[in-house]
Structure 1
């Protein structure tokens, strides 16, 4: 096949005339066709269609006089985005066909396209998956929260403990993945912590591993999507420890070696903010509108923009107002240094529960639900993207109600 200079193959969609359905086709241009004087635009339908396409409202397509249409949204890999998992897999399949067709146009080698493809696959299969994984962190998560990057880096730690510093792609098959899953379920927690990983932590790490495999398939390191053939680790419902209102009042009246820690912890219990968000909270993000204090900030974990009211007591805990770009809780230790002074403060208040800083967020959610705030409002105030995440707190409240129902017992057999 002669080289067709600068021919580009693109996955495109054509709307069905009477249905909310889009047919998928490959468009190649420019293409030299025997017998044709001018360069041609070739359409090749792939016998697939999708119904849940996401359109980019910032990129108008060619429009008719009485209607406006938009171009489909594409991800960082140029693949058209769909809402349903089935449609997204269809678009990934279409993109794999696009790559094959593009390769046919681009080839300038003397040997056959199959030989070239096999040579490329062999070269990719010998690359180091660990190094590829490290590159993904820099590429995908350079602007992500610290907790997300730490989780990805932890997976690299477990991966190298399991398979070594060099793991060629050709060694990664279903058996390798299943063995790694079993390893995570029995892996030590690391650091100074005793015991093995919790099932939920193992599930989180394995999900990250699967995400890396999925991206490797998109990048052409696997001929099939191996991540779709392996099951994740099911979550195990965990108890969310929280403080009662009586325990919170005990803490509020108990001295703490770190005043900023005390104020920040109680602030979290009154607002539901995470430690990472409280650490980065600036005075310009706290405002008063119509006499009501509010905060306007971007969550470190989800990158969601939040705008919510807070109580007068929460504002009081912030202390004296400073310059707009000053931190509200300046000097608040990070998560690695906060546990020891926090534990000492908790014990000084006579509280025996195992409380971490994040439990103040749990406290906010549980007490809000216990006091009648509806679950959708609580979910929004916590910044959850799915109300199902908030439902775990409702179960804790239900447990308390069940205990309360049986708290009063009568001796009905006595006369």
Structure 2
């Protein structure tokens, strides 16, 4: 019984439609009507001509997935989010995106840091899979990766069932810091690239770096090294030069004779720090100058043949032990030598442009 008025039916903004394909399967898609405009979203979900109970169950699951997406789109439209979320590419495969970042950084990063990017990839490939997209990258995913790094020797067994010799070993604290920072950089870049609308890292703390004790050489120990033969003369000269100047190994590797200038009785080197990019100059002592050897062409490397790597570290440690020094010394320790610090403070100047 009514008052003669008819109730206008509100048009459903999102409808699930079917399209029959040539092979007999049915493709599911959404018919979306919004702001007077119609568009279609093909879901890449298909119903087959089911005959067995298993095939019928698969069709039911596929249909349930399609209805869930339909409900999500309806809510997005009601909340005014549909046009906003469409601007982003949440379907981007996460591991594929991370691998591209690794490839791009091969040209710009140091060998060691790029190696950390590659190592982190191995852990990510174990933690998630190729189906993971940026839709899945949320706070739970990130905190889960932190837990995974903390318990990696246990989780790899549960996740991969690899042979015991292939399982990951427990990670050092600084490795956890490095790998989490690689994930952080990837997510931050995805946010900048408008892959994701909201950065899920907000409020999540990374790992804290472990405090490490740096080993220093005393003046007497540097004198011992100076008097002890080393298998590779360029390694010995470069290391002692770093002890006296505080230059990083990366700056020593690329130092050319064109960077070395004679000004009266003073020798000065001009260089651009590889790590900081700062343009600086350093006045050398006569002892530091003696480790550079005979001057070559401007384009020649001062320490020709010096290239720091695992072999150089091994030979450095052999040389240090031969000098009767039991400290665990790396090339990085040379620039923190107690002898080089006051010399750097007196001799190193940054050029102001």
Q: Normalised by the shorter chain, which TM-score bucket?
A: 0.5 to 0.7
Q: 1:340 and 2:314 equivalent? A: yes
Deviation at 1:166, TM superposition (A): 5.5
Alpha carbons 1:272, 1:382 under 8 Å: kept: no
Deviation at 1:231, TM superposition (A): 0.6
Alpha carbons 1:277, 1:299 under 8 Å: kept: yes
Q: 1:240 and 2:205 equivalent? A: no
Q: Which residue of 2 aligns with 1:167?
A: 132
Note closer, same or farther for the CA distance 1:176–1:247 as it changes in structure 2 (3 Å cut).
same
Q: 1:293 and 2:258 equivalent? A: no
Q: Which residue of 1 aligns with 2:98?
A: 133
Deviation at 1:341, TM superposition (A): 1.3
Q: Which residue of 2 aligns with 1:278?
A: 252
Deviation at 1:352, TM superposition (A): 1.0
Candidates 123, 145, 149, aligned match of 1:184: 149
Q: Which residue of 1 aligns with 2:189?
A: 215
Note closer, same or farther for the CA distance 1:223–1:316 as it changes in structure 2 (3 Å cut).
same
Note closer, same or farther for the CA distance 1:138–1:307 as it changes in structure 2 (3 Å cut).
farther
Aligned length: 263
Structure 2 Cα separation of the partners of residues 127 and 331 of structure 1: 45
Note closer, same or farther for the CA distance 1:250–1:186 as it changes in structure 2 (3 Å cut).
farther
Larger relative contact order (CA 8 Å, sep ≥ 6): 2
Q: Which residue of 1 aligns with 2:295?
A: 321
Q: 1:254 and 2:219 equivalent? A: no
C-alpha RMSD over aligned residues: 3.2
**For each residue in 1:35-92, what CA deviation from the matched residue of structure 2 results, as whole angstroms up to 9, or x when unmatched?**
xxxxxxxxxxxxxxxxxxxxxxxxxxxxxxxxxxxxxxxxxxxxxxxxxxxxxxxxxx
Give the greater-gyration-radius structure (CA).
2
Structure 1 Cα separation of the partners of residues 349 and 263 of structure 2: 21
Matches within 5 A, 1:114-133: 115=82, 117-119=84-86, 121=88, 124-133=89-98
Alpha carbons 1:342, 1:356 under 8 Å: kept: yes
**For each residue in 1:358-380, what CA deviation from the matched residue of structure 2 results, as whole angstroms up to 9, or x when unmatched?**
111221xx3355x6x79xx48x9
Q: Which residue of 2 aligns with 1:227?
A: 201
Structure 2 Cα separation of the partners of residues 274 and 321 of structure 1: 21
Alpha carbons 2:281, 2:349 under 8 Å: kept: no
Deviation at 1:164, TM superposition (A): 4.1
Q: Which residue of 1 aligns with 2:339?
A: 367
Structure 1 stretches lacking a partner, 5+ long? 1-108, 189-193, 384-415
Deviation at 1:242, TM superposition (A): 1.4
Deviation at 1:331, TM superposition (A): 1.1
